[in-house]
Structure 1
């Protein structure tokens, strides 16, 4: 496997035993989606089959805050230390985003500091909403300020939106792409990205439908929702996001993503193991055979852009 071509997967998941047990104890899952089996060996074997050099792992929805602040702090610490052990044992194959216990802001600040400074986490993962509170919530400003001060990479993973599931339709099928979009627009309208210019925010699944509808959001906001607000400035903030390709490189979605994203802002993602390897293989085929992508752009999507965000991973694999 050549380091020059093997992908860096920024959307790959870890299932720490402590987190699985916490969900099982409460009868929870990931938005109606079962929690799959996971092991380091299985993850590395999948990466070898799929030409992935390194997976940057994260805990998925519902995250680590399951209702109680103290329990959430303890769970965040446990999953982050578990992830750090995987990185320590396989530094060239595994990276890790740290979980933080939002909406407990003080707990989130404490855990982000510990994970980034002591554990050496590659960034922080935030759910698109936590108990119905979105990432533009003014109470979350101290966390954004600290992450911006550190020029941190923040991976936004979707969560079940605060509404009932559509009958027979688990949240990852439809609601997750909606909630990613909802959270991203909320962040921009609340000024999170305009205030914090050094934080790098990666949106899952191609940003939901944000690339497709970005001009709708900017034009309607500036003409109807908040007349007089600068629509071009809103569009610039929307373009500050990074996007991963997990389940988002299909023939109808990828052209919109390529048309909207800034150069260097598209990163490879698989969503394994919550998305089965068969699904990942299909979307890899869509990505590898997409028309109009030159070799330089393909390299950037596959690993070059991730190397710029995560210098530790440059040249590894």
Structure 2
């Protein structure tokens, strides 16, 4: 982010940016996020679903999230490759579904890019429910990672106990809606109510991917207000053909009316970033 802001400054381009962290290094991450927000003007913080195998609800990250709470932070979470515990100094990829299409890791160098391929695309669907790293997918692998990290945040208490943090959840939660009820069953009524309150009032759900054909219906079944839905494209990680499919799915979705669709594309994000971005 530092390089980007400095590169854009001579061109007088005014664009909003998110701070990135140095997690799993907590103290360094707090320092970097504070610098990015106070000095570079970052309007939010971008995390991945897991950082070197540690998901966001990990107790080691408690001081970091305490600082996010103090900052009233907007935290964007994106899925990443799921990792097993470190074994002999090596992280093992938890990607058993090797027969599915591969995901793409795009490394930018100047104006050029190099694409590397990795296995286990399907796993990304669950990782949003837990955490993320710095590897981005072109397909459904995202959704599992989304689900894993947000269930992790809820079961650890981070989600519901730190009430000043707003979260942007990609891919309208990925596979999260399908596992919420079973994941929180058996907890106290008060805790379950607090978890659902967080999902209803402090989670903002972006549309990245072809999520409005059917998937959005599962999220709205939890009485999530359409006023907390945001537009997300996943560009440049997905090809233009997929962007067209995703946009068409929104336009024809039976789950929202035209006013709600227009608010999802513009008004909702203005409300989230009120006072942080000049629209």
Which TM-score bucket, shorter chain as reference?
A: 0.7 to 0.9
Indicate if the aligned counterparts of 1:153 and 1:201 stay in contact, CA closer than 8 A. yes
Which moves more between the two structures, 288-297 or 133-142? 288-297
**Correspondent of 1:217 among 178, 183, 193:** 183
Give the Cα–Cα distance (whole angstroms) in 2 for the partners of residues 90 and 206 of structure 1: 34
Q: How does 1:161-240 map to 2 (within 5 A)?
A: 161-162=82-83, 163-169=94-100, 170=102, 171=121, 172=137, 173-218=139-184, 220=185, 222=186, 226=187, 230-239=191-200, 240=202
Per the TM alignment, residue 138 of structure 1 is displaced from its structure 2 partner at its CA by 1.0
Q: Secondary structure at the match of 1:95?
A: coil
Unaligned residue ranges in structure 1 (runs of 5+): 1-79
Which moves more between the two structures, 164-173 or 177-186? 164-173
Indicate if the aligned counterparts of 2:210 and 2:249 stay in contact, CA closer than 8 A. no
The answer for the alignment partner of 2:218 in structure 1 is 256
The answer for the alignment partner of 1:245 in structure 2 is 207
Q: Deviations over 1:124-177 (max 9, x none)?
A: 100100111000011111111111111111000101111135224333334321
Per the TM alignment, residue 217 of structure 1 is displaced from its structure 2 partner at its CA by 2.5
Indicate if the aligned counterparts of 1:211 and 1:257 stay in contact, CA closer than 8 A. yes
Indicate if the aligned counterparts of 2:217 and 2:255 stay in contact, CA closer than 8 A. no
TM-score (norm 2): 0.75
The answer for the alignment partner of 1:138 in structure 2 is 59
Task: Name the count of aligned residue pairs.
Answer: 230
Give the Cα–Cα distance (whole angstroms) in 2 for the partners of residues 146 and 308 of structure 1: 23
Q: Deviations over 1:234-287 (max 9, x none)?
A: 332333322110014332112223333234221110011111122111101110
Which moves more between the two structures, 236-245 or 116-125? 236-245
Per the TM alignment, residue 313 of structure 1 is displaced from its structure 2 partner at its CA by 3.8
Structure number with higher relative contact order (C-alpha < 8 Å, ≥ 6 residues apart): 1
The answer for the alignment partner of 2:256 in structure 1 is 293
Large movers: runs of 4+ above 6 Å: none
Per the TM alignment, residue 189 of structure 1 is displaced from its structure 2 partner at its CA by 0.8
Change (3 A) 1:109 1:174: same
The answer for the alignment partner of 2:118 in structure 1 is none
Per the TM alignment, residue 309 of structure 1 is displaced from its structure 2 partner at its CA by 1.7
Give the Cα–Cα distance (whole angstroms) in 2 for the partners of residues 292 and 100 of structure 1: 36
**1:153 to 2:74 alignment:** yes
Change (3 A) 1:212 1:146: same
Give the Cα–Cα distance (whole angstroms) in 2 for the partners of residues 294 and 250 of structure 1: 12
**Correspondent of 1:118 among 18, 39, 42:** 39
Indicate if the aligned counterparts of 1:244 and 1:269 stay in contact, CA closer than 8 A. yes
Give the Cα–Cα distance (whole angstroms) in 1 for the partners of residues 191 and 273 of structure 2: 33
Change (3 A) 1:106 1:254: same
The answer for the alignment partner of 1:10 in structure 2 is none
Per the TM alignment, residue 87 of structure 1 is displaced from its structure 2 partner at its CA by 6.1
Q: Deviations over 1:207-234 (max 9, x none)?
A: 111123322323x2x2xxx577743333
Change (3 A) 1:131 1:266: same
- The alignment yields a C-alpha RMSD, in angstroms, of 2.2
